[in-house]
Structure 1
């Protein structure tokens, strides 16, 4: 596949701040002063949190570094959390998995075939099952076994890889280990998990068996940011599939894998495109 051609003048600005009059005027005015042409703009004011969220794509006549410097005073004035990046820049991504291959395979395939804006720099696993798949896609594979006695060392190795490889996003693609509270805090907002259930129902292990036992009519998957609370992080995307009483647990697992792939791929794409902003324990997703 030919490499994606990036336009260094096409930028994406995202921000959140306390809601007050004049934010849009200040942002649009500064961009116009620097020769910016807005190509896409979305905004949302949350009455519950009192926060304002905005995502703007702009074709700029000013270099990115110069525009960042010019925007800094506006950001300080409105107490903004903000970022400015090149539209479509591949986000350096590390995928963690255990033995299930469907989510890793889907992300790698979409990156190649659909220009999913990520760069897969490593696969980390507590097993060796995924090594041939990583080799097929040319992704470096790292076997990091995890036991109760070695959990701290395994997480230290993960953090080393995150630093060495300049990782921006970690994806838990059916990685069947619980991350420590300390690791979750250190990588807050940078780790996406796919949970094979429609949260908040059926948390923890064997959710499809739990769903079958309850006779559900819909099965689902949830892509969310990881926090120290198991399966409680801010939800980015969910998807469902209708089922009936004739389905066995094995049927739900097979159907569910396709739902997991879809939900995770959308969540990763939206994160990489800077379409997801955190609003406490919720997310704002500008699709």
Structure 2
């Protein structure tokens, strides 16, 4: 079978390890969305979409139009880039997602002089590498942030007191992986991922991850959860095709999922 990787970084650890597993019996082709001139005349049996650029999404959409199987689909990947749409879908699906409101331009909001009743988390509305994620405690902090990010479209979530650790949960098909990482809102910034056995997760969290995947129509995805107290989960982000770095068994799970999609296997999510 022919397997395509839509990515400018075929050396990414997860992709490289997966390609090495698939290569002995299959043809693995790299399609760099930044240089691809168009859709191949004969699409591969399946494509892994490990890029979120406009070029990559357009390419994936055109491949789907030609009947190609793409993991994740262009539509599902696009949805996860808009944090307003993400929150709306999560709430409709009954997921415990952080209440999210869109306030438009950060600079306009900072000039509104509306006092902050309590700390909030401000995020770029459109998720991307190097985007804005910051805690704001007062109007002075908001003005300072607006000076550094003028005109940035943002969403706002009330700050939920927590331990300062994020639960980084990933799924490849039906298989869930987990780690702990210091929150990027922590004074020292986020550190490395610390391995976490699924048995150490609060009851029901792994199933919650799978439910999020089903709601967002994702096959390879990440769900960031904080413990809001007593094991109560609060989802703060969902992302399509994360790196899943350093997780034993992740390349094997992705290789198996890829072959299932290549042969017409349906989604693993419930």
TM superposition score normalised by structure 1: 0.36
Max Rg structure: 1
Q: Which has the higher contact order (CA 8 A, sep 6+)?
A: 2
